[in-house]
Structures are given as structure tokens and as C-alpha cells.
């Protein structure tokens, strides 16, 4: 089963402000909810009545702004945060930036995130070597485009999305791309320096195992493990794909002498859903389940089936706004069963297949079509996983090269 959150941005023509096109957009939003929602009865509203209530207002709408107000009010009747209307003007602005900044294939060897309004290097891509730019570097421009311009465009585009953090994180990282072997021109401010510096950072071919699922583009599975300070094992991987079934137990074997384990799921957008159950089998001693997914036509349990000699030492999970889908299902299960402690920041709240579909007038409609309920009765979609210990990045920590989540997880493990 695939659990993916996919965001595809298309080049958009300028649509005429035609009332019939806007009305068709109203009808399409209503129909998608009617056809795709997993349980409209649970919302407490009669969706046909909602259509009949709002249709006269939609038909009278004179401007696109009026129609957007009608559609947004109709959507709000659901009382669920993971449905939303995104305006096409903001997507056009963002698309122009993507044309200038996004180039497939090559990537950099560090991770960037928005921290306190700044684009910062927060950690190296690989566990065993530093990145081309040190942690705590502030990015000021990419290919001569000011980061402030990028941040403004991202904020405008995703301000109405319940998964703003997820989209923003992915979008920022995608701009650090280009042809492998070439360099990416940046303007940066290195840690504890006041002056700006021009840097040409190298671009690399992504390393890992390439996997293709169905008609989706090939994805590169990257998995790393290491022993860090105070004899703590650390595992990090970017996506839940099938090679994980071999890589994870092999890493546990290599780290069996460690006093505890950290699984870093920051930026991990999910993947194959049942792999959350697969990993849980190596970490639990008793049978159970992580939770249940409900769609309009099915109900799927995520079981815990313990393997022989599962890991029985302290376990810490790290998440952030880029942790979505299967990452959230896994982290919530660990938390619900009190098998370990979760550190980091609020996850994406994107536990389900969630799509952004273009409407006839060019706006986008984001919707989910299933609901996931954790074993302790928590709905993850639109809510996410709240860490047991909140450890957000801060500018002050980063310029000192510190990773608050890793440090907190290490300290907790050593005190168990």
C-alpha cells in the first residue's frame, strides 16, 4: 500500500475571470468531497444540503474573490483542516521561481530549513562527513535570487494549507539542485560572521538505491547508520521503501552494542505504509497494532508482529514538519505504546494520501480521501504528531553548530 503525499506544481495559464468557469470550480470542489471523503456522515452535515445552501450564492458571485469566499465557507462546513483552496496567482509566482531555481538530478550535501524566518543549514546530508557548508550557515541568495523573495512567495502560496510546513520544507530543499559535477552559486553568511560571502557549492549525483513504484518517477532510497556520542546508535533514512526491510535489521545488528537508539525521521515524507509495521516488529516484544486507516471502501490495520530478539534498549524518534505519512504512523505508534520518546517539532499532519488538484479556474483544491486513527484514538491527518519533548531549531543554537533534537535525545537515553 502506498502512503504518499504528493505535491505537483504545474505551469498555469492566466484564466479569464469567467463566472461559468468559477461556478464549474465550485461544483468540482463539492463533487470531489462528495466522491472522495471517507465518511461524510461523521462530519454531522448533509453534504447535499450544503450544496443546495451554497449554490445560489455561488451562482450570484460576480468576482473570483467572491467565489473563493463561497467555496472556502462551504469547505469549512466539514470542520476538518485538511481540505483547502489554494489560489492560482500564488502558484504562478512560485512557478516562476521554480523555473529559475529547480534543476533535477544533482543535489547538495547539506539540509536547509527555514528557522526564525531565515534559510539555514541545519545538518549535513550524511552522518559520517560534514557538508560543503557548516551547520549554522545562513543562505542569503540562490543563483542571485534573494532568499527573502523566495520566503515571501512560499508564504503566499501555502498560507492556507494545513501542511504549510511540509510543503515549504520540500520546496526549499528542491532549490539546491543542478547538474551533477557543476556548482551552485550562493551568497551566504557563515556561522558567527557578519559579512556576506559568495560560495560555489558542489552538486552531487544522489547516492542510494533507485526504486520505482508504479507510474511514479524513480526515487532514491538513502539509508545511513552510525554510532554517535556516548555510544548511541543513530539511524536516518529519507523514505519508506522496500530496501528498508533489509537495511533496518542489518543496522540494528551493527548497533547492538549501543546503549540506545535514535531514529531520525526529519524530512522523511513517508512511503510504503505497511513498512511502519515492518519496522515496529524489530522494536516491540508484544503483538499489537499501530492504528487503522479508514477510506470510503476499506479498513486497513497496521499490525505489530514482533521479530525474534527485538531491540529492547531505549528508543528515541525525531520528527519535524517534513515528517509525513508513514513517518507519522510509525512515530505515533511508538508514542501510543510508550515504546520510546519522540523529540523534535510537530509533524506534517499528512498521514494520508492527500492530493492537490487543479480546478477549472486555475485554483488548486487540496483534499484527503481517507482517515488514519492511531491505536490510542488520535486522528493524525491535519493534526500531526506532537513530540513528547519539543526541540525546535533556533538561530542561536545553529550558529554554534548544535542540533537540539539530537542532544536532547542523547541526554534522555543516557538517563534511562
- For cell 470531489, name the residue: 32
Pick the more confident residue, 78 or 254: 254
Output the pLDDT for position 215: 47
Domain boundary among 148, 168, 203: 203
Is 193 found in the same domain as 227?
no
Highest average pLDDT, of 64-68, 112-116, 127-131, comes from 112-116
164, 295, 80, 50: CA torsion to nearest 10:
130
Q: Is residue 88 part of a domain?
A: no
Taking each helix axis from N to C end, the angle separating 19-36 and 64-76, rounded to the nearest 10 degrees, works out to: 20
Q: Is residue 43 part of a domain?
A: yes
Exposed/middle/buried for residue 69 (C-beta within 10 Å: 0-12, 13-18, 19+): middle
Q: Is residue 6 part of a domain?
A: no
Cell of 181: 559535477
CATH code of the domain in which 386 resides = 3.90.226.10
Domain that holds residue 23: 19-79
Domain boundary among 176, 203, 230: 203
Q: Is residue 96 part of a domain?
A: no
DSSP per-residue letters across 94-136: HHHHHHHH--SSEE-SEEEEEETTEEEEEEESSTTS--SS-TT
Is 222 found in the same domain as 163?
no
Residue 57 pLDDT > 50, yes or no? yes
Number of independent structural domains in the chain: 3
Is 295 found in the same domain as 267?
yes
pLDDT band at 234 (very low <50, low <70, confident <90, very high): very high
Residue 2 pLDDT > 50, yes or no? no
Q: Is residue 13 part of a domain?
A: no
Output the pLDDT for position 79: 79
Q: Is residue 4 part of a domain?
A: no
Is 214 found in the same domain as 166?
no
Output the pLDDT for position 212: 63
CATH code of the domain in which 170 resides = 2.30.42.10
Average the pLDDT over 268-275 and give the result. Answer: 91
Cell of 23: 461556478
Range with lowest mean pLDDT among 29-43, 71-85, 190-204, 288-302: 71-85
Handedness of CA 171, 176, 180, 185 (dihedral sign): positive
Output the pLDDT for position 367: 84
pLDDT band at 353 (very low <50, low <70, confident <90, very high): low
Domain boundary among 181, 203, 225: 203
Instruction: Please tell me what DSSP assigns to residue 24.
Output: H
Is 70 found in the same domain as 145?
no
Average the pLDDT over 152-156 and give the result. Answer: 88
Is 400 found in the same domain as 334?
yes
Output the pLDDT for position 6: 35
Residue 276 pLDDT > 60, yes or no? yes
Output the pLDDT for position 73: 93
Is 344 found in the same domain as 213?
yes
Is 382 found in the same domain as 336?
yes
Is 197 found in the same domain as 120?
yes
Output the pLDDT for position 7: 33
Residue 299 pLDDT > 50, yes or no? yes
Average the pLDDT over 217-227 and give the result. Answer: 87
Residue 11 pLDDT > 90, yes or no? no
Range with lowest mean pLDDT among 174-178, 212-216, 250-254, 402-406: 212-216
Average the pLDDT over 204-212 and give the result. Answer: 81
Q: Is residue 97 part of a domain?
A: no
Is 308 found in the same domain as 248?
yes
Q: Is residue 87 part of a domain?
A: no
Is 362 found in the same domain as 283?
yes
To the nearest whole number, what is the mean pLDDT of the chain? Answer: 89
Residue 170 pLDDT > 80, yes or no? yes
Highest average pLDDT, of 72-81, 172-181, 184-193, 379-388, comes from 184-193
Is 252 found in the same domain as 190?
no
Say if residues 67 and 22 touch (Cβ distance below 8 Å): yes
Exposed/middle/buried for residue 338 (C-beta within 10 Å: 0-12, 13-18, 19+): exposed
Say if residues 353 and 328 touch (Cβ distance below 8 Å): no
Amino acid at each position: 500500500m502506498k502512503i504518499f503525499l504528493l505535491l505537483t506544481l504545474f505551469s498555469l495559464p492566466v484564466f479569464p475571470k469567467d463566472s461559468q468557469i468559477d461556478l464549474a470550480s465550485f461544483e468540482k470542489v463539492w463533487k470531489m468531497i462528495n466522491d472522495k471523503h471517507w465518511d461524510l456522515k461523521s462530519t454531522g452535515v448533509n453534504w447535499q444540503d450544503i450544496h443546495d445552501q451554497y449554490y445560489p450564492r455561488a451562482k450570484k458571485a460576480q468576482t473570483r474573490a467572491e467565489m473563493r469566499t463561497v467555496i472556502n465557507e462551504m469547505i469549512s462546513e466539514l470542520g476538518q483542516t485538511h481540505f483547502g483552496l489554494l489560489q492560482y496567482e500564488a502558484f504562478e509566482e512560485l512557478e516562476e521561481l521554480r523555473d529559475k531555481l529547480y534543476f533535477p538530478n544533482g543535489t547538495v550535501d547539506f539540509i536547509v530549513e527555514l528557522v526564525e524566518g531565515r534559510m539555514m543549514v541545519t545538518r549535513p546530508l550524511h552522518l559520517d562527513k560534514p557538508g560543503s557548508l557548516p551547520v549554522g550557515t545562513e543562505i542569503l541568495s540562490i543563483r542571485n535570487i534573494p532568499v527573502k523573495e523566495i520566503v515571501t512567495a512560499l508564504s503566499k502560496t501555502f498560507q492556507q494549507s494545513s501542511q504549510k510546513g511540509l510543503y515549504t520544507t520540500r520546496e526549499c530543499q528542491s532549490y539546491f539542485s543542478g547538474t551533477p559535477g557543476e556548482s551552485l552559486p550562493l551568497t551566504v553568511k557563515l556561522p558567527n560572521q557578519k559579512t556576506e560571502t559568495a560560495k560555489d557549492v558542489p552538486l552531487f549525483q544522489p547516492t542510494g538505491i533507485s526504486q520505482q513504484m508504479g507510474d511514479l518517477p524513480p526515487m532514491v532510497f538513502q539509508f545511513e547508520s552510525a554510532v554517535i556520542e556516548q555510544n548511541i546508535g543513530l539511524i536516518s533514512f529519507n523514505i519508506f521503501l522496500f530496501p528498508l526491510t533489509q537495511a533496518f535489521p542489518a543496522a540494528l545488528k551493527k548497533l547492538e552494542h549501543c546503549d540506545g537508539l535514535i531514529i531520525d525521521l526529519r524530512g522523511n515524507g513517508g512511503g510504503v505504509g505497511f513498512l511502519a509495521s515492518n519496522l515496529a516488529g524489530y522494536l516491540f516484544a508484544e503483538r499489537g497494532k499501530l492504528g487503522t486507516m479508514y477510506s470510503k471502501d476499506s479498513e486497513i490495520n497496521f499490525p505489530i508482529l514482533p521479530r525474534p530478539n527485538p531491540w529492547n534498549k531505549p528508543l528515541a524518534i525525531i520528527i519535524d514538519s517534513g515528517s509525513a505519512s508513514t513517518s507519522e504512523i510509525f512515530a505515533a505508534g511508538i508514542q501510543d505504546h510508550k515504546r520510546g520518546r519522540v523529540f523534535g517539532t510537530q509533524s506534517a499532519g499528512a498521514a494520508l494520501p492527500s492530493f492537490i488538484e487543479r480546478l477549472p479556474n486555475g485554483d488548486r483544491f487540496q483534499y484527503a480521501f481517507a482517515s488514519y486513527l492511531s491505536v490510542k484514538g488520535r486522528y493524525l491527518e491535519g493534526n500531526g504528531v506532537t513530540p513528547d519533548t519539543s526541540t525546535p531549531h533556533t538561530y542561536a543554537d545553529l550558529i554554534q553548530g548544535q542540533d537540539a533534537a539530537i542532544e536532547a535525545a542523547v541526554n534522555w537515553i543516557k538517563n534511562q
